[in-house]
Amino acid sequence: MTDTLRTRIFADGADLKGILDLASDSRISGFTTNPTLMRQAGITNYAEFAHELLGYITDQPISFEVFADEPDEIRRQALLIASWADNVYVKIPVTTTKGESLASLAGELSLSGVKVNVTAMFTIAQVEEVTRVVADGAPCYLSIFAGRIADAGVDPVPLMREAIEIMSAAPRAECIWASPREVLNLIQADSVGCHIITMTHDLLKKLGNIGKDLTTYSLETVQMFFHDAAAAGYKL
């Protein structure tokens, strides 16, 4: 069923083997990473990992994030990361750790030809600000953390729909539904016309359940409970 959806899937992770296994998966159109995922994967040399990965991922877009907090150092890191390969997008946080907007810097980089991925976006105000500054720039992504928005008890669907309408003013910008929590989010992203969704490697394993008969799924679940209880040797 995924081949009937317009929303493209980017695999989100930093496990080298996992990424390479997914590189030949026709359902995957690109890749994203971040420092948290890289740390969890045990990566200690950022540039070495990125260059090794880029030796294999040569055509699909892949995002690497800066890890500075001061604009001048963010700019330096962004230009360096962008120089690594043509398919690289540079993740720029929407603000510093003090909450100061980095939209103007993202716009400056975009206008200079850097493909930015403005990340950790949560609000319509942020979407409006970033859309204005990248409207005439290089191709870019706006990563809106719909999953975390939902974690706050807010329905992300209306927000994502509004964000995509706003972004029409920047024709080279694409909207990413970031931090999804379930496969349903892919269907929701597609329903509002979101260009891309990022999915972790674990979540990607569940794509085969799309369209599954619910009666069959119910039976399989009952069988799982029964067999696990038997395997555990439970007695009453």
> Known catalytic residues?
91
200-235: burial string, b at 16+ Cβ within 10 Å, e else: ebebbeeeeeeeeeeeeeeeeeeeeeeeeeeeeeee
Longest dimension (CA), the chain: 70
Strand partners, 142: 118, 175
Q: Are 119 and 143 in contact (CB under 8 A)?
A: yes
Instruction: Find all residues with CB under 8 Å of 30, minimum gap 6, and list them.
Output: 8, 10, 11, 60, 61, 62, 63, 196
